[in-house]
Structure 1
């Protein structure tokens, strides 16, 4: 995977990821920034043909490493919603929101469902294994993953 950075500064990064084979096939994009309370906010978009192959996590960890090389991250924020920016996704909503809702319908607790979303899985893999819900609405959820 080849990364082409489009924004770099002390507290934020954005890049496009391409395959090594032709450097033209877009795997996805990633953005991340560190908020005022050292909370990591990311937007990871993986092209459909590369979904469920580990690229989302790789993009997430690239953002995480870039930021942690420059500052301390206290939490990882999840902001899952149904908005125009997700028009390319199933049901016009973020993958995280879709997964959360499907699991809630199956009887999972809020925390269990949150840790089964892509963001929740990735946060847990890097040691952020607590979740706090700041908002739960039909089409919008805000969560914060922290370390013990």
Structure 2
């Protein structure tokens, strides 16, 4: 039996390994970028939730009216919290730092906690064929003000 020529077999193996390695690098870089953006958005959401919760504590009508609950918490108002969050996000330049920033403000079921959810698209630094070029990243934070 004659011996078959195996010229080029090593080249095919090297090309295949290079493709796998480049794909792994792209996935790691993109995952790291998404993690860092999520951390930044978490910071934005934390600050906005604190601003929204704090807005109720500065409202004298809530302090001296029927705004206190039995455990010395303030009942917050949706529109006051929303306005405070909008002011905070504008003052901190969050929209410039995270283009396409979207946010929502809700009150917890008990009405004394502000819940802020922020999201922004992330342009992925490395993409490969068939993969999306952007990914949505979001973070949620809540805050409650208690009176001492």
**If the TM-score is normalised by the length of the shorter chain, which range does it land in?**
under 0.3
The structure whose RCO (Cα within 8 Å, separation 6+) is larger is 2
Larger relative strand fraction? 1
Q: Which has the larger radius of gyration?
A: 2
More helix by share: 2
Q: Provide TM-score, normalisation by structure 2.
A: 0.28
